[in-house]
Amino acid sequence: MTISLKKPSSGKESENIDKWARKEWLKFNREKGYRYSVKKERIVAFEGKTPVGYADYSFTGGVCHLKDLLVSKRARGTGIGKLLVERIEKRARTLKCHKIELSTSERHGNLGFYGKMGFEQIGELPDGKFHFTWFLLEKKLKQ
């Protein structure tokens, strides 16, 4: 067998590779007995008609992945972040998730906030993205 490595040369070739990869993942998951599906969701907090908070998260294999949590500067300290996390946790419990995972950087200064919300640090990635230290956090959910 001769192997060669290359990047896809066009958008069409990339699409074909994506289709091939999806099919191969489905075959692999069937072989292993895995049920794999990603459910993506987003929630926005409004003050009147103005967005003041936002969360982007997904569910995969019994785990909620909190990708983004943002509260506008003028609305910080008002409980909006807490409200968003509580809503996500409620949704995760409804979907029978066993934990919520996220990463945050030293730059964001959110470790105290997430600690108050019941998250624990499970890892640290020094000199990560943008040369910041990143922290991996999780909150285990009891059903």
Grouping H, G, I as helix, E, B as strand and the rest as coil, residue 34 is coil
pLDDT, position 5: 87
- Please state, rounded to an integer, the average pLDDT across all residues of the chain: 92
pTM score of the predicted model: 0.77
| Domain covering 39-140 in this structure, CATH number | 3.40.630.30
Q: What is the pLDDT of residues 50-89, one digit of tens each?
A: 999 999 999 998 899 999 999 999 999 999 999 999 999 9
Other residues' Cβ atoms within 10 Å of the Cβ of residue 34:
11
Using alpha carbons, list the distances in angstroms from residue 95 to 30, 80, 87, 118: 22, 23, 13, 19
Helix intervals (H) in 33-120: 80-94, 111-116
